């Protein structure tokens, strides 16, 4: 069963952030938009490209009022080592956003993103609104990296609909008009 439109699973755990171990939880994020993205493992291949891409877009997510949290089944100490490994040595280097540890796989299981082999998470991205409701979920297999710009666009689309009440048609971009959820709204978009 999909969790879209439903309350996000509650979670808490330790994360690596700014060279330290910190506590994070869904409860502490209540009232905020946030992106929780799962990736398979530290020190692998597609994962660092995504983590670094999320970090490169971090200021844009913050400007949109959204937090970003990465999560894998690695220990928080492995996350710290990954962040201490320079990018030119295939680490992720210093990051602006935290990496959450899910060593027990309980968070990935709650979001139903455990890979079929059972030892890691799939590439999954969840956009969660200030009420703790899941507004978007995308899940890719291990070999398919995600599009960070699309995640940011999805956050902004969710914020737009929450603020304006209109819906966002296909290919909506920040700054575009929405449309009313009516047949007249459809005609106004595709009837040109």
- Which DSSP letter does residue 9 get? P
Question: Could you tell me which residue, 189 or 48, shows the higher pLDDT?
Answer: 48
Answer yes or no: is 107 within a domain: yes
Range of 155's domain? 12-165
pLDDT at 37 over 80: yes
Give the residue ranges of DSSP H helices in 18-169: 46-56, 58-63, 76-84, 106-110, 148-164
What's the whole-number mean pLDDT along residues 150-178?
Answer: 95
Model confidence band, residue 2 (pLDDT cutoffs 50, 70, 90): confident
- For residue range 114-152, list pLDDT tens digits in order: 999 999 999 999 999 999 999 999 999 999 999 999 999
Model confidence band, residue 186 (pLDDT cutoffs 50, 70, 90): confident
Sign, Cα dihedral of 48, 28, 73, 105: negative
Answer yes or no: is 172 within a domain: no
pLDDT of residue 1: 60
Place of tokens 């299981």: 109
Q: Count the helix, strand and coil residues of the chain and give each as a percent rounded to the nearest 5.
A: 30, 25, 45
Adjacent-strand bridge partners of 17: 20
Answer yes or no: is 130 within a domain: yes
Phi then psi for residue 168, to 5 deg, are: -105, 115
Answer yes or no: is 175 within a domain: no
Adjacent-strand bridge partners of 121: 114
Catalytic residues: 47
Largest CA distance in the chain: 56
Residue positions counted in the chain: 192
- Which DSSP letter does residue 87 get? G
- Which DSSP letter does residue 131 get? T
What's the whole-number mean pLDDT along residues 27-52?
Answer: 97
Helix (H, G, I), strand (E, B) or coil at 118: coil
Answer yes or no: is 5 within a domain: no
What's the whole-number mean pLDDT along residues 165-189?
Answer: 91
Answer yes or no: is 63 within a domain: yes
Question: Could you tell me which residue, 185 or 107, shows the higher pLDDT?
Answer: 107
Counting the structural domains of the chain, the total is: 1
Lowest mean pLDDT among 103-107, 108-112, 179-183: 179-183
Answer yes or no: is 46 within a domain: yes
CATH number of domain containing 90: 3.40.30.10
Answer yes or no: is 24 within a domain: yes
Q: Write out the DSSP string of 23-49.
A: EEETGGGTTSEEEEEE-S-TTSSHHHH
């Amino acid at each position: 069963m999909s969790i879209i439109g439903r309350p996000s699973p509650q979670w808490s755990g330790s994360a690596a952030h700014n060279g330290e171990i910190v506590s994070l939880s869904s409860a502490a994020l209540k009232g905020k938009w946030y992106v929780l993205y799962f990736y398979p493992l530290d020190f692998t291949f597609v994962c660092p490209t995504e983590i670094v891409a999320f970090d490169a877009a971090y200021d844009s997510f913050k400007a949109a009022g959204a937090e970003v949290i990465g999560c894998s089944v690695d220990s928080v100490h492995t996350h710290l080592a990954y962040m201490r490994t320079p990018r030119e040595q295939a680490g992720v280097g210093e990051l602006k956003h935290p990496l959450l540890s899910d060593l027990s796989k309980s968070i990935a299981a709650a979001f139903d993103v455990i890979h079929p082999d059972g030892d890691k998470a799939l590439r999954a991205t969840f956009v969660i609104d200030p009420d703790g409701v899941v507004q978007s979920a995308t899940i890719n297999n291990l070999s398919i990296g995600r599009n960070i710009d699309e995640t940011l666009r999805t956050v902004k689309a969710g914020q737009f609909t929450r603020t304006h009440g209109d819906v966002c048609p296909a290919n909506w971009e920040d700054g575009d008009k929405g449309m009313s959820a009516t047949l007249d709204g459809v005609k106004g978009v595709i009837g040109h």
